[in-house]
Amino acid sequence: MSKEEKRLEILTAAMRIMHQEGFEGFKMEDIAKEAGVGKGTIYEYFESKNDLFLEMLRFSTEQFITGLENSLATGTDLESKISNLSLFGSKFLSSHLNLVNSNISHLSLPEDSKDQIKRYWEHIYKTIESELAKAIEGGEIKPHIDLKMAASVIIGSLNQYAFKKLYGTGLPPEQIDHQAIARMILQGMQK
């Protein structure tokens, strides 16, 4: 196993432990056992638990961006793109909830990490704004929509709807009516 492969195995093991135990139950010993390495090996790749957490956050955000772009690319119109994004986002939230919650409650991030997270979110918003601009050009939605506001509505609505369905009613991501939330969002934007 190459050094990068081992680093990735430790990272994915840490994410599995975080998913199961949350940040408070996130122990280096458990990660080492899950990754099949010694505890000292983890410290060859990550200086501390916090350093590992920040790398998990970066890695997960990059996975999210890739999934976001793929889910939008597979849609044929804005409704199917939003529906695809809803399904992807629900699956992602379902498997990353402890990391997301830790990020929200772990506000003592270093400034460079906060700046990186801001850049990731800017990329996410711009990606959705670009899809909205294409929908305007294609005549799918009203021409004078505030793209930044519409992107915020889409992101916020999908996150809240998924969270409510996943954790409020216990539905698995595949059983959520993603098309219905996409239609609901689009009602205010269509001609």
Residue 107 has pLDDT above 60, yes or no: no
Pick 75 or 115 by higher pLDDT: 75
37-63 average pLDDT score: 88
112-129 average pLDDT score: 90
**From CA 73, how far away is CA 128, in angstroms rounded?**
11
Q: Are 79 and 42 within one domain?
A: no
The residue range of the domain holding 29 is 1-46
Residue 108 has pLDDT above 70, yes or no: no
Q: What is the pLDDT of residue 77?
A: 96
Q: Are 113 and 163 within one domain?
A: yes
Q: Are 12 and 65 within one domain?
A: no
Domain boundary among 11, 26, 46: 46
Number of domains making up the chain: 2
How many helices (H) and strands (E) are present in the chain, helices listed first? 8, 0
Q: What is the pLDDT of residue 105?
A: 46
Pick 182 or 105 by higher pLDDT: 182
Q: Are 31 and 69 within one domain?
A: no
Domain boundary among 46, 62, 80: 46
Q: Are 92 and 67 within one domain?
A: yes
Cα end-to-end distance, the chain, whole Å: 56
Percentage with pLDDT > 70 across the chain? 92
CATH of the domain at 4: 1.10.10.60
Residue 137 has pLDDT above 70, yes or no: yes
pTM exceeding the 0.75 threshold for the entire prediction: yes
pLDDT band at 143 (very low <50, low <70, confident <90, very high): very high
Q: Are 155 and 75 within one domain?
A: yes
**From CA 132, how far away is CA 126, in angstroms rounded?**
10
**From CA 162, how far away is CA 153, in angstroms rounded?**
14
Q: Are 27 and 65 within one domain?
A: no
Residue 127 has pLDDT above 90, yes or no: yes
Q: What is the pLDDT of residue 59?
A: 87
Pick 149 or 118 by higher pLDDT: 149
What 3-state class would DSSP assign to 114? helix
Q: Are 175 and 123 within one domain?
A: yes
Pick 103 or 93 by higher pLDDT: 93
Q: Are 61 and 94 within one domain?
A: yes
